[in-house]
Amino acid sequence: MTDFFLRPFGWADVPALTAIYAHYVQNTAITFDTEVPGEPAMAEKFGHLLALGHPLIVAEHEGRVLGYAYASFYRPRAAYRFTVEDSIYLHPDETGKGLGKTLLAALLDQSKALGFHQMLAVIPADTENSIRLHEKFGFEKVGLYRQVGFKFERWHDVVHMQKAL
């Protein structure tokens, strides 16, 4: 699909973004959340990102939200304020079509323009498509944490990747 467009988050997006995220909570280990957050919790999270001036990008086609991406602080301490972690979530019908690539490119550009210095990706080790995507954009593997997440009755390793902005 090539006729989607990217735009900033709007409050009317909360239900669609919550539904997209719910799919990943319920069906994958891409997120280590084990319970789906409701719309109020997601709205609070997005409001916090907006208040901090972090990028929050929505992909849309004919009024339908296809996915979203955002950069959030890697850690809350002040010394980390120039380092962000990326998150990208696509509607399950939209994976494998290049949308993640477009969102990540925009997220990198916006994060750099906002003065962030490093972007980190924290990815379950068995999520090869996400690892390959980040490698295409110059992220390097900088760490592997073994068996740090327990979801769906099994342990998951996590790869840390990093890119200078």
pLDDT tier, 3 (very low <50, low <70, confident <90, very high otherwise) = confident
Q: Please report the pLDDT score of residue 138 as a whole number.
A: 98
Mean pLDDT of 7-16: 98
Q: Report the distance separating Cα 96 and Cα 7, nearest Å.
A: 21
Q: Which long-range contacts (CB under 8 A, 24 or more apart) does 18-26 make?
A: 18/42, 20/65, 20/67, 20/68, 20/89, 20/90, 20/91, 20/92, 21/89, 23/91, 23/92, 24/89
- pLDDT at residue 81, rounded to an integer: 95
Q: If pLDDT is split at 50, 70 and 90, which confidence band does 2 have?
A: low
Q: Averaged over 22-46, what is the pLDDT?
A: 97
Q: pLDDT digits over 127-160, tens only?
A: 999 999 999 999 999 999 999 999 999 999 999 9
Q: Contacts by 70-73 with C-beta closer than 8 Å and gap 24+?
A: 70/9, 70/46, 70/107, 71/107, 71/110, 71/111, 71/116, 71/119
Query: SS3 of 65, please?
Result: strand
**Torsional class of 147: left (φ above 0), alpha (ψ -120 to 50), beta (otherwise):** left
Taking only the tens place, the pLDDT of each residue in 64-115 is 999 999 999 999 999 999 999 999 999 999 999 999 999 999 999 999 999 9
